[in-house]
Structure 1
């Protein structure tokens, strides 16, 4: 279930990138078992006993699972969808933008100020 997420983590290991998961299973202990069994290396939050109607889904207006939301380095939602090639393209664009912004913020004189 998680091979694509694992490939994204591996591909973007040294880049400004993070995955945050939200699990909609109603059983919290099952969520913990899945996280451990699947060896998930990213943060994964439980959406509560309401499952797909839980507080995180409500706050982020998630209607379908899985939903992917790409948030850039400035905290702006840049893409919302359900994965696939379109999401991968959006990720590449916004990760590159974050890298460019980080490069601009580095003092070229090396003085650190």
Structure 2
């Protein structure tokens, strides 16, 4: 143990172990180009599918998207109005107008 401490002191000037730095090998130029090309081809792809298809970690995909100010979500419409909804919308508007008239009449009686 002591020879190792002496050697470390000679090499680094300190008794502390040098910090191990992680190598960022995920954001290579090739991976960045692949992710951006995939997004350009299909804007509705998720990060999970993207990482599986390209063989890149999901965090790397998210970081690449973040670097290029792209957002890892897509819009999905769950509700929409159809032509059949016209009658319902008209009934709602008439109901709302009636409620407003009742409230206005009530307020004018009080004041």
TM-score (norm 2): 0.29
More helix by share: 2
TM-score (norm 1): 0.28
Greater C-alpha Rg: 2
More strand by share: 1
| More RCO (CA 8 Å, sep 6+) | 1
